[in-house]
A = this chain, B = another copy of it.
Amino acid sequence: MTDGEELYKLVAELYPICRSITGDGVRRTLEIVDREIGLQLHEVPTGTQVFDWTVPREWNICDAWVANAAGERVIDFQASNLHVVSYSVPVRARMPLAELKRHLHTLPEHPDWIPYRTSYYAESWGFCASQRLVDSLPEGDYEVCVDATLADGHLTYGEHVVAGQTEDEVLVTCHVCHPSLANDNCSGIAVASRLAGRLGGTRPRYTYRFLFIPGTIGSITWLARNEDRVGRIRHGLVLACVGDPGHLTYKRSRRGDAEIDRAVRHVLERSGRQHEIVEFSPYGYDERQFCSPGFDLPVGCLSRTPYARYPQYHTSADDLDLVRPEHLQDTFDACWEVLGVLEGNRRYLNLNPKCEPQLGKRGLYGSIGGRSDAEERQMAMLWALNLSDGDHTLLDVADRARLPFALVADVAGSLEQAGLLAAVSIPAAR
């Protein structure tokens, strides 16, 4: 199987589970990720204060339906977990259609799709259904049942750490709180898991921390419980909606010019991929919390088509047809290349800074001069030597030289071996 196929298989396994911000759906999801890469699980009790927020009661659902006068289920949670507004309180009642409709959510512009709705912090209940179905309901009384529990329990999240050579961290996060939405965010869970798996066999420069967390309340909870280690985070990436056919879209961190911002831009630009770089805004996924002014972490968000910009967003059409193996693989490849830039980005000092060193006598230069072309590798060497003043990083070199980072990093290695460059110990990240 290709990477893409493996990724898709994981998405397909995660897809049917009914997740919310708390409850057993999250636990079942994390079990699957645990099987793949191993996870440290955290259970945070209801009522725990996390900054301005409180960990909510845990929501679990067994069944839910709307039945007509004949007792037939016309809306059935068993058919799609999107049918129930997430965090609906338990209810068992009989009511006429008009009253029922006040609890029904539809998408008139997409009459066959079921919308996805939540009501985490306001006690209520509701059903989501296709407009066509709701339009077909005859007048009459309906039986409504939400067989759910909303009770003290825990908020669950998972953490996976790949220990690196330094305590400086790269954070990769994804949200695990959405039910059957394949792109948003089974795709993110899959790509994050696989990145962790791929890093597993290595001893990277950075320590990598992967978070599998419910959106918003999850990142807030993690930040509240890890405030003392936040300073170690040098770079971060939120992964969301990464399996659809759209081109890659990167949303910059609040800082706008953090190393992660420049690394992703470099990879996307150099790859020749169609792509888009958008400015930070305080709406979106968990970068909202990581980039709140009290933290201002260098965390960006990578998506293909960003939230709310594809019609299937937050509907039943965000399904296993929308996500494709090749798109998952493309995202994974880009992420892997970005991590490669972060890993390899250093500052070097030219040990022979006055005039160029004689590359030829070290076997680093062709012996027949006077050619009317300069080869890319030799240009990379000259650039690395010229800009290695202890100030520029290799990414600076690659950007100014308009050369691929990997090539610049490679020649820097050769020049270091030849004794012409020395890595500067000051960390590259600010």
Contacts and interface: CB of A to CB of B under 8 A. Distances in A.
Contacts of A358: 52-53, 121
Contacts of A355: 50-53, 219-220, 223-224, 289, 292, 294-295
A374 B53 contact: no
A401 interface: yes
Nearest to A124: B367
A382 to B, nearest CB: 4
A292 B353 contact: yes
Contacts of A313: 372
A223 to B, nearest CB: 6
A46 interface: no
A426 interface: no
Interface in A21-68: 50-53
A288 B379 CA distance: 12
A382 B118 contact: no
Interface string A336-368: 000000000000001011111110110000011
Interface in A193-239: 216, 219-220, 223-224, 227
Q: How many copies of this chain does the complex contain?
A: 3
A382 B283 contact: yes
B288 A382 contact: yes
A303 interface: no
Interface stretch (A153-161, A259-267, A323-331, A386-394): A386-394
A383 B281 contact: yes
Interface string A304-323: 00011000011000000000
A288 B51 contact: no
A115 B372 CA distance: 10
A116 interface: yes
Contacts of A295: 354-355
A353 B294 contact: yes
Contacts of A374: 283, 308
A175 interface: no
A119 B371 CA distance: 11
Contacts of A371: 314
A383 B288 CA distance: 10
A114 to B, nearest CB: 12
A33 to B, nearest CB: 23
Interface residues on A, range: 35 or more
A365 to B, nearest CB: 9
A386 B353 contact: no
A369 interface: yes
A138 interface: no
Contacts of A289: 355-356
A373 interface: yes
A129 interface: no
Contacts of A385: 282, 292-293
A122 interface: yes
A162 to B, nearest CB: 26
A288 B356 contact: yes
A252 interface: no
A307 B367 CA distance: 19
A83 interface: no
A383 B220 CA distance: 18
A117 B370 contact: yes
Contacts of A224: 354-355
Contacts of A387: 293
Q: Which 5 A-B pairs have the closest CB atoms?
A: A294-B353, A122-B367, A294-B354, A282-B386, A282-B382
28 contacts: A50-B355, A51-B355, A52-B357, A85-B368, A86-B370, A116-B370, A118-B369, A121-B360, A121-B361, A121-B367, A122-B368, A220-B356, A223-B354, A254-B386, A281-B379, A282-B379, A282-B386, A292-B354, A293-B350, A293-B387, A293-B389, A294-B350, A294-B355, A295-B354, A296-B389, A308-B372, A313-B372, A314-B370
